Amino acid sequence: MAEIILVRHGQANSSATDEESYDRLSELGRVQAAWLGQHMRDTNPRFDRVLTGTLSRQIETARAMGYNSATQDTRLNELSYFALADAAQVEHGLPTPQTTADFATHLPFLMELWTSNRLENVPESFDAFSARITALIDEMCTAAGRTLLVTSGGVIGMAMRHALHLDEKGMSKIMLQITNASLHRLHFVHETLMVGGFNATPHLDSPDRAHARTYV
């Protein structure tokens, strides 16, 4: 049996309007990650391998959790949301979201355009994104023991799509629910990839930490 634990990075710069300025943790994001790291040390801290993407917010999250020597793997990098949104606006007139509520309605339309190959000037096709995530998950399924992957919401959504055979609309709904610094579990047992847990935030369950549950 192989167990894969996916963690979404802590809250990033939610007021950003481009990839570079978004790619840093907020102060709350660092706290979320530290609380999660403490929870994991208090429960079952041993992992056979720890990987992050190469994005700053992913690396900072792993370090704040206490994993300073994680291996970096570009396959765990997030989709280029701002580039996709810009292309959708230019090519299809899809307005860029201005609020959290706007984002909730914007993402499904954006994913529909991307997954149907209707966005031209983007840094990565949906098929390429899907291929790199599923290849990594399948690779981790063949690695014995427990693997921790510190990554981003789009990557986790794709991993869940892979495990549950979701369509693109189902993946969009999954992505909108993923909280910052959340835990997700995949199990590979009897030659089958199964979901063992989704969007858990045990480190934020106490009433005094309810304010720290964020999505963007």
Q: How many domains does the chain have?
A: 2
Residues 137, 71 within the same domain: yes
Residues 183, 133 within the same domain: yes
Query: What are 115-146's pLDDT values in tens digits?
Result: 999 999 999 999 999 999 999 999 999 998 99
For 64, the 3-state DSSP assignment is helix
Residues 103, 186 within the same domain: no
pTM for the structure as a whole: 0.96
Residues 118, 176 within the same domain: no
The CATH number of whichever domain residue 10 belongs to comes to 3.40.50.1240
H helix runs in 116-167, sequence order: 126-141, 153-164
pLDDT score for 70: 96
Residues 73, 31 within the same domain: yes
Instruction: Locate the DSSP E strands across 46-182.
Output: 49-52, 71-72, 145-151
Average pLDDT value for the chain: 95
Query: What are 18-36's pLDDT values in tens digits?
Result: 899 999 999 999 999 999 9
Residues 158, 179 within the same domain: yes
Q: Which of 94, 123, 152 is the last residue of a domain?
A: 123
Structure tokens, 146: 């427990």
Which single residue is written with the structure tokens 């917010």? 57
Residues 142, 198 within the same domain: yes
Residues 114, 185 within the same domain: no
45, pLDDT greater than 80: no
What amino acid is encoded at 111 in this protein?
A: M
Residues 106, 175 within the same domain: no
Residues 70, 141 within the same domain: yes
Residues 23, 47 within the same domain: yes
For 94, the 3-state DSSP assignment is coil
Query: What are 55-112's pLDDT values in tens digits?
Result: 999 999 999 999 999 999 999 999 999 999 999 999 999 999 888 888 889 999 999 9
Could you count the other beta carbons within 10 Å of the beta carbon of residue 35? 21
Residues 132, 118 within the same domain: no
Q: What does the pLDDT average to over 146-170?
A: 96
pLDDT score for 86: 96
For 195, the 3-state DSSP assignment is strand
* Domain housing 172: 2-78+125-212
Query: What are 184-197's pLDDT values in tens digits?
Result: 999 999 999 999 99
pLDDT score for 199: 98
